[in-house]
Amino acid sequence: MFGRVKPLDAILATAEKKSLHRSLGAFQLTMLGVGAVIGTGIFVLTAEAAQKAGPGMMVSFIIAGFVCAVAALCYAEMAAMVPVSGSAYTYSYAVMGELVAWMVGWALILEYAIAAGAVSVGWSGYMVGWLNTSFHLDIPLTLVRGPFDGGVINLPAMAIAGLITWLLVLGTKESATVNAVLVAIKITALSLFVALTLPVIQTGEFVPFAPNGFAGISGAAASIFFAYVGFDAVSTAAEETKNPQRNMPIGLIGSLGICTVFYMLVAAGVIGTVGAQPMAGPNGEILSPGTPALSAACAAIQDNAVVCSKEALAWTLRVVGYPFVGWVVGAAAILALPSVILMMMFGQTRIFFVMSRDGLLPEFFSKIHPRFRTPHVITIMTGMFVSIFAAFFPVGLLADVSNSGTLFAFAAVSVAVIVLRRTEPTRHRPFRTPAVNIVAPISIAGCIYLFCSLSAVTIQLFFGWAVAGLVVYYTYSRNRSHVGRGTVEVHETDADIPPQSVPPIS
């Protein structure tokens, strides 16, 4: 029915012969998820959501979080049952065949690379604001914003992406202690924000609640979805997890639950203190995020609005009278956000690694550096693309494009759960998605709903990327697939990634 399918037993056997070191427990996975999720989405995209939905972004967080929750339940079943690298790509290959798996893997490439670019741009906003606040450095906008955001090139974003690429090539390994410290810094910063803003909330700031109607709330939910997608990276570490049947569901659902609580409290703090109303143009029209008109309006009022700020949370704290804490939150973002970039780029290399292991991508993509013992070729290639994205595109557009690939992959996993329940009902499932015939369809419908709520430009870019993927598949990958050739075992020429070169994601 689905064409070339790589049986689950073959996938598990392949991973067993050529596997990564299992060292992550439930707590590490949960912290990994929290560290991956809490990043640019909440530190920066709060302003983007405010421009689209106003105070209605509270509902947007609920919508995006709910879709992620039902998708997480589907992910948990598949990750526990198929504890190998590759995430949605691997699950799709086992259930719906090679073509679907290729398209999912292609979409995940879009997700991780673009997401890393978005986080780089978010880091740049905080770094520039922090330098201005701390040392009164007034860096020209032409050098810190891309052409779609009122500048020419975003050099800080480009620099941080290059730095992370260099670290990954060197094989820098973050210990569990460092990872826990970085997560603690982010949680502490958000906790400070919540503690200082909730007591001074003004209910009048919530009126009008939805100035752009439900369409604005939907559009904001599609953008805010980016704030949650880090939990997907937890599943890419399945092959490096101890007792994955138990620990993967805990890590996936636990990290999502913790982050949702923080997001709701932070959103309430922003809205109730400085407001969150979209900006209007001279004729009363709502200015769209990432447009020259909005950039011009922000410049005219000297960044005196949360919808204009590139460091929304730090700016909010300065406005309500806590400049030092705002400085601390900015410093926390500067310190912690690079670990999210590392996570995204790490996830990218894992997807390439598994696709190369299956013969769908060239073997040199997983070539190992003779000295550093890292997959330097694909890491450098990924870093180059991420740097270009970060240098020239605004965070809102990058987040939306990343979301399009993520939503496609989430929907594919939800379909895979339903199909596998019918094709292999007796297979052992350490974790079973509750009410799967209700939860999985809701997940699929939610992903489609959020995808359709993205901008027309974003949807067009996604389908253009998908067409390019089909061309690559039929001109190269289909004829070189190990499954297509009838050889699903691991070839001796396949390059492996040594466990010591794999940095735990933070």
pLDDT at residue 110 tops 50: yes
pLDDT of residue 149: 81
CA distances from 263 to 40, 43, 166, 269, 398 (A): 12, 10, 32, 10, 20
Percent residues over pLDDT 90 in the chain: 23
Q: Counting Cβ atoms within 10 Å, is residue 181 exposed (0-12), middle (13-18) or buried (19+)?
A: middle
Q: How many CB atoms lie within 10 A of CB 214?
A: 12
pLDDT of residue 221: 92
Phi, psi of 379 (to 5 degrees): -65, -45
DSSP 359-428: TSS-GGGGPPPTTT-S-HHHHHHHHHHHHHHHHHS-HHHHHHHHHHHHHHHHHHHHHHHHHHHHH-TTS-
Residue 491 has pLDDT above 50, yes or no: no
Q: Is the dihedral of CA 418, 416, 79, 421 positive or negative?
A: positive
Residue 262 has pLDDT above 80, yes or no: yes
Lowest mean pLDDT among 26-30, 54-58, 228-232, 443-447: 228-232
pLDDT at 470: 94
pLDDT band at 96 (very low <50, low <70, confident <90, very high): confident
Q: For 186-199, what is each residue's pLDDT tens digit? A: 888 889 999 999 99
Copy the structure tokens of residue 362: 């060239």
pLDDT of residue 314: 86
Interval 207-230 mean pLDDT:
87
pLDDT digits over 390-419, tens only? 999 988 888 899 999 989 989 999 999 999
**What pLDDT is stored for residue 133 in this prediction?**
85
Q: What is the pLDDT of residue 459?
A: 94
User: What is the rounded average pLDDT of the residues 194-216?
Assistant: 89
Question: How confident is residue 490, by pLDDT bands cut at 50, 70 and 90?
Answer: very low
Task: Indicate the range of 217-231, 240-254, 442-456 predicted with least confidence.
Answer: 240-254
CA 419 remoteness from chain centre: 26
**Does residue 484 or residue 317 have the better pLDDT?**
317
Residue that wins the pLDDT comparison between 231 and 213: 213
Instruction: Report which of residues 442 and 69 the model is more confident about.
Output: 442
First to last CA, the chain: 40
- Among 48-52, 132-136, 427-431, the least confident range: 427-431
Q: Are 208 and 214 in contact (CB under 8 A)?
A: no
50 φ, ψ to 5°? -60, -35
pLDDT band at 184 (very low <50, low <70, confident <90, very high): confident
Mean pLDDT score, 72-83: 79
Q: What is the pLDDT of residue 17?
A: 52
pTM, entire model: 0.83
Whether the CA torsion 233, 30, 64, 117 is positive or negative: it is negative
Report, as an integer, the average pLDDT of 433-441. 91
Please report which confidence band the pLDDT of residue 475 belongs to, taking 50, 70 and 90 as the band edges: very high
Hey, what are 78's tokens? Answer: 């598949």
What is the spatial distance between Cα 451 and Cα 453, in angstroms, rounded to a whole number? 5
Which amino acid, one-letter code, is at 506? S
Q: How far, in Å, CA of 442 to CA of 447, rounded? A: 8
- Whether 105 shows a pLDDT value over 50: the answer reads yes
The pLDDT confidence band at residue 503, using thresholds 50, 70 and 90, is very low
What's the pLDDT at 173?
A: 57
Q: What is the pLDDT of residues 316-326, one digit of tens each?
A: 898 888 999 99
Residue range 112-134, pLDDT digits in tens: 889 899 889 989 988 998 998 88
504 vs 466, residue with greater confidence: 466
